[in-house]
Structure 1
Amino acid sequence: MKNRLLSALFALPLLLSLPALAIELDEAKDKGLVGEQTDGYLGIVKSAPQVPELVQDVNSKRKAKYQELAQKNGIALSQVEALAGKKAVEKTQPGHYILLDGQWVKK
């Protein structure tokens, strides 16, 4: 079980960067429009055109990868989401937003 969790943990950084949307995602983060949540998914900090679609696209891709990892490693989806959320918060750049205790906070 521990090895499976470690395997999932090592794969998480790959999941947190989605090359197809990297420019748009980075721009949205730089502008303070979106931020990382502790559940492993992206959230909307401030609504703007195209932000909901971006968040939905990123989150659906993340969820698919999380489900794949969970199934591959024989662990619950919630465990992968929690690990991804922890990694995402740790990797969030200074000045970008994270959701902590229901509040958007600049890191």
Structure 2
Amino acid sequence: MKNIAILSFLLTSCLYFSSAMALDIGEAKTRGLVGEKPDGYAATIKSDPEAKALVDEINAKRKANYQALAKKNKLSLSQVESLAGDKSLKKTAKGHYIYQNGRWVKK
């Protein structure tokens, strides 16, 4: 019984620490793995599976939000994406990357 409790604790600890160490958007941008594009979506700059998974998740959520905003405001999805892209490029922190004129540029 004691061994099961210890094993359970160790497994729970591993799950906790792996999720605590998971890459987030801020860290990914700081490390130069992810940047913002003018179409309102994030993209990977360097090939990294964890960053790619993060970008896919973020972009799916963004697209759902953009679709809801488009419907609510009677705009096209591309109009909302463009507006969001303009805003995200302006709000991107110094030292992070934006996609501009066909290439990644450090802001």
Name which one, 1 or 2, has greater alpha-carbon Rg.
Answer: 2
- What is the CA deviation profile of residues 2-31 of structure 1, one whole-angstrom value per residue up to 9, with x for unaligned ones? xxxxxxxxxxxxxxxxxxxxx710000000
- Residue 49 of structure 1 and its aligned partner are, at CA, apart by 3.2
How well do the aligned residues superpose, as a CA RMSD in angstroms?
A: 0.9
Q: Where do 5+ consecutive residues of structure 2 fail to align? A: 1-22
Question: Where does 1:86-97 land on structure 2 (aligned, <5 Å)?
Answer: 86-97=86-97
TM-score normalised over the length of structure 1? 0.77
Letter in 1 for 2:73: N
Q: Which has the higher contact order (CA 8 A, sep 6+)?
A: 1
**Does residue 1:66 correspond to 2:66, yes or no?**
yes
Letter in 2 for 1:63: K
- Residue 48 of structure 1 and its aligned partner are, at CA, apart by 1.6
Question: Where does 1:23-102 land on structure 2 (aligned, <5 Å)?
Answer: 24-102=24-102
Matched residue pairs, number? 85
Q: Could you tell me the percent identity over the aligned residues?
A: 55
Q: Where do 5+ consecutive residues of structure 1 fail to align? A: 1-22
Letter in 2 for 1:70: A
TM-score normalised over the length of structure 2? 0.77
